[in-house]
Structure 1
């Protein structure tokens, strides 16, 4: 099994997103998968021109000459693709959005009707990878991932596939906070287990999904402590900058 993660964080290896993806891929590799971690911030990916030239011929080639041709090859060769992103304005990062937009050549321009009676594009045929979504956000509550939870449903429909795992983490700044190292390592162990489970069972169990939704630091005072700490950080920063 081949798993390729496309990390859309602008901070690449320094990000909380990477902390999560790295643990997931470790678990998947331990279960026997071949894994690859691609940092989109390190790639040259131009914005889609909306010219539809990739749909104008059966070959499906984009007119832009950048790193996307290689990345589409990696995407198409994968059995499972991980979309990883920090939460920006309730949605995926701009790096990941541009990458997904440029996957247009993998689709077919014709119309068909799905089982729900809604118009959709077919695929060009061949293998379609299954998907995983991994994300973290600065806000502490899990409720902030509502848009991503809906997006995964629409993407699964549009790409004729399924999301075998969704892993979301509120309070993302704690993932790279040395003071929270013990709690983060416990969380990473859970994400490693999720990576193993996706390889061995094909999807996350209900028990694993529920555990992944639990607070990073299970304390009744954590939310207030976290909010106050974030506010203090910005107050101190503003004070230093006058």
Structure 2
């Protein structure tokens, strides 16, 4: 099987959408390991916009008059049995370079008109009846409705019933090197779908709908994102914290006692804990199998969490969660919130 895997994100290898597309392709390889994969990062290619000159129809039929990287990409597209289109949602559509690539597929079409499936189309110059397509996309908003409809319809019109879709809202859940448990579970689901796809050649509509369910509660996700955006606009306090009091130290010790082995041992995590009522702070250094209390400030820290001692005690006891405290304004986070999300994986009984 020839698979053309198109990464259409301006973030290239750092794309959140690419994590989902990678999982899908890995699933395909589980059942068809001998497949040939051509993975193309479009934002590393020179792809000029289509001029609309129709030269590929009349002057040089089947060949674009523009000389750039599409010369090598068009043959890959034509030979592909499956094309995986991976892209984030930009203004309810696709990023500009992906759109330029799509427009430059025009040499594949004939200038003739034909009526097909209730509409008028240009027939393919090359036999593409068996070619299948998979659209993988994420968006920043927390719900699928009123977000993916335009791009989904575009691929329905382009590919008829030969396209399947993996459309995931709350894409920020995948935009980190340290995924939370919910995001990791979704990647496992997508990988299983990829394995099934090589057998069935499609993704069932019920499965597509299941994959479009956000990995976090939509209302809670929106509230947390908005709260973090508001905090980010205010500077963190510049006070140098004293050593934590015995009560504050007991909170840190409770975290240490609940530490479990890091599921991602290749990356240590350091988070600063600030106790606002006593203006003290310390850092927790989480390594492969140990968690230690270190002085703060710590230049290795990925994030800083600030609350008073009483609130920290309630979080440790399970009376509230970090996200609840964040939403009601009694806790603040600066830095990488994705690092905070990892606390739920690293500490038994701590809810984020």
Q: Into which bin does the TM-score normalised by the smaller protein fall?
A: 0.7 to 0.9
Distance 1:44 1:94 in 2: 13
Distance 1:204 1:85 in 2: 18
Distance 1:230 1:140 in 2: 15
Query: Which has the greater radius of gyration?
Result: 2
Residue of structure 1 equivalent to 2:122: 121
Residue of structure 1 equivalent to 2:58: 56
Report if aligned partners of 1:61, 1:105 keep a CA contact under 8 Å in 2.
Answer: yes
Report if aligned partners of 2:87, 2:137 keep a CA contact under 8 Å in 1.
Answer: yes
Report if aligned partners of 1:29, 1:35 keep a CA contact under 8 Å in 2.
Answer: no
Report if aligned partners of 2:143, 2:213 keep a CA contact under 8 Å in 1.
Answer: no
Report if aligned partners of 2:167, 2:212 keep a CA contact under 8 Å in 1.
Answer: yes
1:149–1:236 Cα change, 3 Å = farther
- Deviations along 1:57-92, whole A, 9 cap, x unmatched? 574111111110111111111101111211111101
Q: Quote the offset at 1:121 in angstroms.
A: 1.0
- Deviations along 1:171-194, whole A, 9 cap, x unmatched? 112202356432221111111112
Residue of structure 2 equivalent to 1:18: 18
Residue of structure 2 equivalent to 1:133: 135
1:230–1:15 Cα change, 3 Å = farther
Answer with 181-190 or 21-30: which moved more.
Answer: 181-190
More helix by share: 1
- Which structure is higher in RCO with an 8 Å CA cutoff and minimum separation 6? 1
Q: Quote the offset at 1:20 in angstroms.
A: 1.3
- Deviations along 1:129-185, whole A, 9 cap, x unmatched? 21111111111111111111211221124xxx620x201111112202356432221
Q: Quote the offset at 1:29 in angstroms.
A: 0.9
1:16-95 alignment to 2 at 5 Å? 16-32=16-32, 33-57=35-59, 59-95=61-97
Partner of 1:142, secondary structure, is coil
Report if aligned partners of 1:28, 1:35 keep a CA contact under 8 Å in 2.
Answer: no
Residue of structure 2 equivalent to 1:240: none
Q: Quote the offset at 1:232 in angstroms.
A: 3.8
- Deviations along 1:18-77, whole A, 9 cap, x unmatched? 111111111111111433321101111111111111001574111111110111111111
Unaligned regions of 5+ residues in structure 1, if any?
238-242
1:219-230 alignment to 2 at 5 Å? 221-230=220-229
Unaligned regions of 5+ residues in structure 2, if any?
236-352
1:236–1:189 Cα change, 3 Å = farther
1:219–1:50 Cα change, 3 Å = closer
- Aligned-residue Cα RMSD (Å) equals 2.2
Report if aligned partners of 1:140, 1:226 keep a CA contact under 8 Å in 2.
Answer: no
Partner of 2:43, secondary structure, is helix
